[in-house]
Chains A and B, each alone.
Chain A
Amino acid sequence: MFETNSFAAAQVPGVGISAAIATPSTFGAQRTTATATVMKPVNGGTYDFDRQVTVVEGAPLAHQVAERTPYNTVYDSQEFTDREA
């Protein structure tokens, strides 16, 4: 369920070593495949804005996970496996 891939904090397009030490521009959100722009069910649950986690039937999904296989979501990079695991 948990994603085993990710993007580096550093995955900013066109950024090299010299840019990496230019502080303000390295706030690098910011290259990811995710486009979380609309409310949709996430990870098979619903995002609870009060608890700030995804819930299924009122309980946090992260505590219910029984399977290990990464879950494909429309938000994150599950299908874009990269080096980071």
Chain B
Amino acid sequence: MTVLVLTHRADLTADLVVLALEQMEVPVLRLNPGDTGRSVELDARFDNGRWYGRLAFKGRELALSDICSIYYRRPTTWTGPEGMSEAEAAWAAEEVRAGFGGVLMSLRQCRWINHPRLAMWASNKPIQLEAAARSGFEVPATTVTNNGSRAAQFATKHSPVVYKTLAGTPRVEGGAIYTTRTTADEIRTEAEAVSYALHQFQQEIPKRYEVRLTVVDGRMFAARIDAGSDPARLDWRRDYDSVRLSVIQVPAAVEQSVRRFMDHLELVFSTFDFIVDDQGRWIFLEANTNGQWGFVEQDTKLPIAAAIAEALTKGGTT
């Protein structure tokens, strides 16, 4: 049985898992569905109620029936050969996505980390907050609105507040929207802009430090994040070089909530971001169902890659 890793070639974090699987002498096929038509081939047939066939990539072949688990990391968008119109390329990309995704997600024997359908559901921030509260986490006061006046009222009531994106940042070069502190006055000034789309504002929790928790199949790997600069204290991605990571234990109550959250959203893997306040309370900020963890392993030596590799070889279905 073989582990299928779906990601692009420059994904160093996935390299760690491939290497761990290699160490365990588990066969791996790593490919990027986005390379279909260039170096990747999928040939599947529906017969007797299930999908059969093979994947091929650079001289390697894998029968679909031999796939025991799929690590869904960073597959990229299919891009067609030069000369296709934008509309043709978009349509073809959808065909690749539907074909690859449909066939692979129909394989009954596979365990996914994570199943894309579940990961997609769980990555939605409003859904996460509800699931987090239900799981027993403390969560910051939050509003999602395109009403500038209401947003300003929220900011007045819960000051200080931050603006956080709901679905990532603009996909343009150089685009990045970090967690940003804002005020009721600023929101009023930008009320018209706020009205054009949904915006998420959240009470800013004074923090002693942050925690990045990585959960793999029930195992927890927690890293304390101490920010060494003001920008990093607001959002540690702003000044990564000033950040220091160290191993920290997860309190039992938090661990219990994490397990409830993972079960509720049917996740095998997720990272979590917490703020730990002066009273030592762990406040849930968000979960990233396909969050990065390579830098955590690198800094703390927590054996996350090995845990993922073990989970991929465990069997079972998602």
CB neighbors of A among B271-293 (8 A): 271, 273, 286, 288-292
A17, B12: Cβ atoms closer than 8 Å? no
Residue interface bits B90-120, CB-to-A below 8 A is 1, else 0 = 0001000110111011000000001011011
Q: How near does chain B come to A65, taking the closest CB pair, in angstroms?
A: 6
A36-B35, A68-B240 known; A6 vs B290 contact (CB < 8 Å): yes
A35, B295: Cβ atoms closer than 8 Å? no
A84, B288: Cβ atoms closer than 8 Å? yes
Q: How near does chain B come to A53, taking the closest CB pair, in angstroms?
A: 4
Residue interface bits A21-32, CB-to-B below 8 A is 1, else 0 = 101111111111
Q: Which residues of A contact B (CB under 8 A)?
A: 1-12, 15, 17, 20-21, 23-37, 42-43, 47, 49, 51-54, 60-63, 65, 68-71, 73-76, 79-85
Q: How near does chain A come to B271, taking the closest CB pair, in angstroms?
A: 8
Q: Which residues of B contact A (CB under 8 A)?
A: 5-6, 8-13, 15-16, 18-19, 22, 28-30, 32-35, 38, 58-59, 72, 74-79, 93, 97-98, 100-102, 104-105, 114, 116-117, 119-121, 123-124, 127, 164-165, 167-169, 171-178, 212, 236-237, 240-241, 271, 273, 286, 288-292, 294-295, 297-299
- Residues in A whose Cβ lies below 8 Å from that of B169: 80-83
Instruction: Name A's interface SS.
Output: loop
A5-B292, A23-B105, A27-B100 known; A43 vs B10 contact (CB < 8 Å): yes
B240, A36: Cβ atoms closer than 8 Å? no
Separation of A67 and B104 alpha carbons in the complex (Å): 36
Q: How near does chain A come to B21, taking the closest CB pair, in angstroms?
A: 9
A8, B168: Cβ atoms closer than 8 Å? yes
A34, B124: Cβ atoms closer than 8 Å? no
Q: Which of B18, B72, B176, B273 contacts A9 (CB under 8 A)?
A: B72
